[in-house]
Structure 1
């Protein structure tokens, strides 16, 4: 049975909660904890770094790179308590822990309508926000030298200053399961993930959509291929751009992306062969095409009424990104239209479940953003709200009824993520940082891969 010695977390922390709790911790332990501002967001919110210990080897943990994934903020607070309570993680490891409290505080503020709960899929998607591709600070579509966002530049500066032997980016999965992505192998991590997930009752994604074309290093642990440049449409659908995950690779850094689910789905752990793979793929593709046409019609109706409305562009950017990628995704998944030069890998039931969840995710996120646009304007000239509410309710019910999605308490999400981070830190420290091979930090030539989290 899962036990936690620290007080359980009942809700996700806000931007202000993170800053206040980190400041209180630094004031309580001034010898061991330092809080400093390492940049500001586009809206002027400070980016805070909490550093623990004074060892020579640097570890960097980044919370909140995606605005709708707040578990990382709670996890860094939990990690801070653990690190300060256990000298083996600092003096014993000759390490300093650097915890970036939130990389996208402006985006996190836009999600505060659901952060405190009560937690339901309908409440989450109606208040969901994630910026458009060009406003997500982990990505470097034009390379590090051309990074435009102040949040991105702050993170790049930290990476080059610290040259961490270990970097961890904390992410959340709204519906699905837990998995880890690595820029270098950490032998033994898959077994640690399996043990932790089993102890906490959290399903692992054995066929994660994000990693569909990536090599597996073990169950629910995947190797991130080196990036390569592509055009904008490909970059939105694929992690085919330089990212802050790979930027410190030149320093010998191993980067781990640790994903923790909010609503778990047991079928993402089913690695059995499907009874009729092609029939499921056709159904998933057909549903995505249908949903896309439906949402495009709604967008066409409402867009003219919100030209020049403050904040409309910020909500419409991710809507346009989602609708741009849907036709290509549906064609790539459909066995009747898939590109023979880029065939799908062997697919288990877990893979098909993940694709079903991913297709529906794009649709319900788009509907939620459109609903916010209309509801926030105070008028609904096209009578779109009832239609959008019906779509959101129906798609959320399908997640619950068809996929068996179940809420995982915040404290358990955080405990899982913190334990996996600590395991990866330990294994990275044992292995030491292997120097980058000649050309390894440059553009790769691996197959294109699905975009992380979209």
Structure 2
């Protein structure tokens, strides 16, 4: 099967996985593990018959579709190379897309042409409480069917490794781990260099997290916090940590869409406070513009179908942006309670990109709401177009954002997953088999039970 040169849609993922199973009926299985809120099947593609279970989750965030291309690539590799299955006594379990409903909402840009303006004008990512990896009320209180399906698979498989496949719209690649995998940072550096992928040495997502090596970060244990901290710092229980009692290591593998060289610069910044001041002031100013536009648009949205799903992330972004601006601003004093860590030039580049990202996502969602309302009753569309064009130009010209072809994104992500697999499998004992000491009926492999 030829490699994908663009992101696969929900339907293409299912069709390609089914074709793989048809070609390899002895070694590949496809089963439905649940159903999305809109009734779309959640498909798990399994390759191999080993006792060690690896779980790879694609599409946890609706606007990060590279994982779909990656899991198909991993399935092909596992079928072609017995060292990844028989040789490692491993089974690969590949969840094709955790949020298929959200992915469908991104089909306005998904298949290209890939341009920043096209992406942000058609971008969709649900509000925080509708993102299936998060467990704000704990596993027992999981409300989304997608979340419950993933939790059940985790408890069934008890994987030694879970890889959650994410994308970075603008920036660089990095990995977040629940436990250390010594040697991964070196392998990541090699893979990124070979494929020309910038490594994010000061990732915003991991701003307050300990580093395990360049572009590799340790996810702290979950803690209870308010919604703003949950959104901006992942300070919440999640499916990343849920299988931890089974001995699972989770690797969150981030692959960039548009790469930025500045995120690779680990040198001390020339003027830290000036950059922080500029970034925070820009975010505060942009948030004010967007709040004004939201107030103009909101009265006309009552009749827009499903407007609440687009408004939820808008309200999330408007909620967190002022607090972020204050936390980054050296003149506000808000950093005293939660001071910024030592910052490199890469950190400052990531903060600039993140502030712009929040504004662009909000503007893009508002743009969709206005279009859905009909004839732009609030007269907001020209201003939104102007803002989106200007902010995308800043990404291109100010940050140097450059598109990375989909095939290269997926190859990078697949190689990082394979590196994590190789390191993790070395420390994972095989499960007992029938006839061996310690074997009992409950130890049978889920795929063999099928």
The alignment's TM-score, normalised by the length of structure 1, stands at 0.93
Residue 237 of structure 1, CA deviation: 2.4
Residue 99 of structure 1, CA deviation: 0.2
Structure 1 position 23 matched with structure 2 position 18: yes
Corresponding residue to 1:342 among 323, 338, 347 = 338
Structure 1 position 152 matched with structure 2 position 147: yes
Describe the superposition over 1:186-227 as per-residue Cα deviations: whole angstroms up to 9, x where unpaired: 000001000000000110000000000100000000000000
Describe the superposition over 1:247-291 as per-residue Cα deviations: whole angstroms up to 9, x where unpaired: 000000000000000000000000111111000000000000000
Residue 431 of structure 1, CA deviation: 2.5
Partner residue of 2:42?
47
How far apart in 2 are the matches of 1:393 and 1:422? 38
Corresponding residue to 2:277 among 267, 277, 282 = 282
How far apart in 1 are the matches of 2:415 and 2:335? 40
- Runs of 5+ unmatched residues, structure 1: 1-5, 434-454
Residue 19 of structure 1, CA deviation: 0.2
- Runs of 5+ unmatched residues, structure 2: 430-450
Structure 1 position 226 matched with structure 2 position 221: yes
1:19-168 matches, within 5 Å, as: 19-168=14-163
**Secondary structure of the corresponding residue to residue 247 of structure 1:** coil
How far apart in 2 are the matches of 1:237 and 1:415? 29
Partner residue of 2:398?
402
How far apart in 1 are the matches of 2:271 and 2:228? 31
How far apart in 2 are the matches of 1:270 and 1:84? 38
Structure 1 position 266 matched with structure 2 position 261: yes
Structure 1 position 378 matched with structure 2 position 374: yes
**Secondary structure of the corresponding residue to residue 139 of structure 1:** coil
Number of aligned positions between the proteins: 428
How far apart in 2 are the matches of 1:269 and 1:233? 28
Partner residue of 1:390?
386
CA contact (8 A) 2:300 2:373 kept: no
**Secondary structure of the corresponding residue to residue 98 of structure 1:** strand
Residue 20 of structure 1, CA deviation: 0.3
Structure 1 position 357 matched with structure 2 position 314: no
CA contact (8 A) 1:207 1:350 kept: yes
Residue 27 of structure 1, CA deviation: 1.0
Describe the superposition over 1:45-98 as per-residue Cα deviations: whole angstroms up to 9, x where unpaired: 000000000001100000000000000000000000000000010011010000
How far apart in 2 are the matches of 1:386 and 1:33? 51
How far apart in 2 are the matches of 1:237 and 1:257? 16
Residue 377 of structure 1, CA deviation: 2.1
Q: Give the CA RMSD over aligned residues.
A: 0.9
Residue 233 of structure 1, CA deviation: 3.0
How far apart in 2 are the matches of 1:181 and 1:387? 38
**Secondary structure of the corresponding residue to residue 243 of structure 2:** helix
Partner residue of 2:246?
251
- Runs (4+) of structure 1 exceeding 3 A deviation are none
